[in-house]
Amino acid sequence: MKADARIAWILTRGSHRREWWRISLTAVGALLATGFALAAITVAAVAGQVSIPYAHGLLNQPGQRAGVVVTLLLLLVPVLGFLGQCARIGAVHRDRRMAGLRLAGASPAQVRRISALESGFACLAGSTVALAVVAAVLAGIGHMPPPAAWVAFVLVVLAVPVVGALVSALALRRVVASPLGWVRRVRPDSRHRMLLALLVPTALIAVALFLLADRNSRPGEVTVPFLVLAVVLLTGAGAVWLAGATASSMGRRLTLRAKSPAVLIAAGRLKDDPWAAARTHAALLLVTVVGVGFVGVRQVLLDELHRRSGYTAQDLDFYTTGIDLAGTAVLVALAISLFGLAVGTAESVATRRRGLAAQTAAGVPRTILARTLLLETALPLAPAVLLAGIGGMALHLAYSLLVTPEAVPSMLPLLVPVVVYAACLLAASASLPLLRRAVDPAELRFT
C-alpha cells in the first residue's frame, strides 16, 4: 500500500496539464462535501436554546437545528455521485498510464488502487481548503466552536479523502486495463440490482402503511415522514429503472427503424450500454422528485400562512426563512447533479474518442455527432423525468389534501420537470467543445 501511495503521488504531481481539470473537479467535489459536513458539525455543536442573529431565529431551537443538520448531510449524496463521475472520467484520461503500469508488472487491482489513491490526494487538497475557509468564516463572525467540534473537523478533513478514494475504487471496480493500452469496462447486468432498489422502498411503504393503520401509533411524528421518504425512494428508483429500460428498448427499436443518421448512431450507443444513462441520471432523478414535491409543499405552506391570522411579520420571516433554506438545499443538490451529468457526458465522449475520430475520418459530419450526443441524453431521460415529476406531484397533492382539502392544488410544480429537462440538455451540450477535440483524426494514431 505504501508503494502504491508513493506511485499515486508521483503520478498526480506529474499529471499532464490537460488532466488538471479532472483533478480540480475532484478537489471541488471534496471541498463541497467537507464544507457541508463542517457546517453540519458547527450547527450541531451549538447546545441548548440560544439567540443567533442569523436566519431569523431558525437556529435558536435544538429541534430546528437538527433539521438544518439533516439537510446539510443529505447534500452529501449528490456530491458523492459527482466524485464517482470524476473517477470514471479520470480512468479514461489515464488509460495509457494505466497500460504502462500493467507493462511494469502491476495487477489490474493494483492499477485501480493507484487510480483511487490519486483521487484521494485531490480530495485531501479540497478538504484542506474547505477547513481553511470554514475557519476563516467562523473567525470573521466571532464564533468559536468547542474543542470537540474542532476534533470532528479534523476527522472530517481526513475522512473525506478516504471516502473519495473508496468512491473512486467503487466506480472503477469494473474497469480492466490491459498492457496493450486498451481500457474497457465490464458491464454487468444491472436489472437484478434495480429490482432490489425497487423492493426496498416498497417494503418501507408497506411498513409505513401498517403503522398508519395501527391506532396506537402516532403518524404525525414518525410514520408520515417515513412514508414520504419511502415514496421518494420508490419513485426515484423507478425513474432510474425506467431510464435504463427505455434506453434498452429505444436502442433495439430505433436501430431497426431509424432513418436519421444521428438517431441511428444514438440508438446503437443506447443498445450497447443502456444502463449508462441510468447511472448518470440517478441522483438527478431523485432530486427531481424532491424538487417537484418541495415546490408544491412550499406553495401550500405559504398560502396557509397568509390565510391564517395572528402571525406577526417576525413569525412569517421565521417560516419563510426555513422554507427558503430547504429550497436552497434543493437547488444546490440540483446544480451538483447537473454538474455530474455534464461530467458524465464528457466521460462518454472521452471514452469513445477513438471511435468518434474514426467516424469523422469516414465522413460523418461533426454536427451529426453533436446531435447524437444530445439524443443519448434526451431519449432515455424524457420518460424518467416524467415519472419523477408524477411522483413529486403525488406528494404535493397528498399534502395539499391533508392541509387544505377544500383548496385547488397548485399546478406550478408541473413546470419543474420541464425546467430540469431543459437544464439537463444544456448540461449535456457543455461537452460539445470536448467533442471538437475528440473527433480529431490524430486520435487514430493510438488505436
Least Cα distance to 141 among 235, 21, 52, 33 occurs for: 52
pLDDT in tens, 127-141: 999 999 999 988 888
pLDDT digits (tens, 9 = 90+) for 390-407: 888 888 888 888 777 777
State how far the alpha carbon of 337 is from the alpha carbons of 139, 331, 424, in Å. 31, 10, 9
pLDDT on residue 221: 47
- Quick check: 52 pLDDT over 90? no
C-alpha span between 370 and 311 (Å, rounded): 55
* Average pLDDT, integer, range 275-298: 82
- Residue 193, pLDDT score: 52
* Domains in the chain: boundaries: 2-185, 191-446
Report for 81-90, 236-245, 279-288: range of highest mean pLDDT: 279-288
pLDDT value for 205: 53
Mean pLDDT, the chain, rounded, equals 77
Q: Of all helices (H) and strands (E), which one includes residue 265?
A: helix 261-272
What average pLDDT does this structure show over 141-148? 83
- Confidence at residue 202, expressed as pLDDT on a 0 to 100 scale: 55
C-alpha 327/C-alpha 294 separation (Å) is 7
**pLDDT grade, residue 119 (50/70/90)?**
confident
Please determine, for residue 232, whether its predicted confidence score (pLDDT) is greater than 90. Answer: no
- Is 70 exceeded by the pLDDT of residue 53? no
Mean pLDDT over residues 28-42, rounded?
89
Q: Is the pLDDT of residue 49 over 70?
A: no
Average the pLDDT over 131-157 and give the result: 88
Alpha carbon distance 377, 441 (integer Å): 25
pLDDT at 384 over 70: yes
pLDDT level of residue 246 (50, 70, 90 thresholds):
confident
The whole-angstrom separation of Cα 206 and Cα 185 is 38
Mean pLDDT confidence for 397-419: 84
pLDDT at residue 151, as a whole number: 92
Cα–Cα distance for residue pair 174/351, rounded to 1 Å: 14
Evaluate if residue 166 carries a pLDDT over 90. no
CA distance 281 to 425: 12
Angle between helices 76-93 and 147-171 (to 10 degrees): 40
Residue with grid cell 451529426, as numbered in its chain: 368
Interval 205-221 mean pLDDT: 50
**Candidate from 8-12, 97-101, 196-200, 332-336 with smallest mean pLDDT:** 196-200
CA atoms within 13 A of residue 208's CA, in its CB half-sphere? 19
What is d(CA 131, CA 155) in angstroms, rounded to the nearest whole number? 11
- pLDDT at residue 388 is higher than 50: yes
Strands (E), 270-310: none
Higher pLDDT, 296 or 306: 296
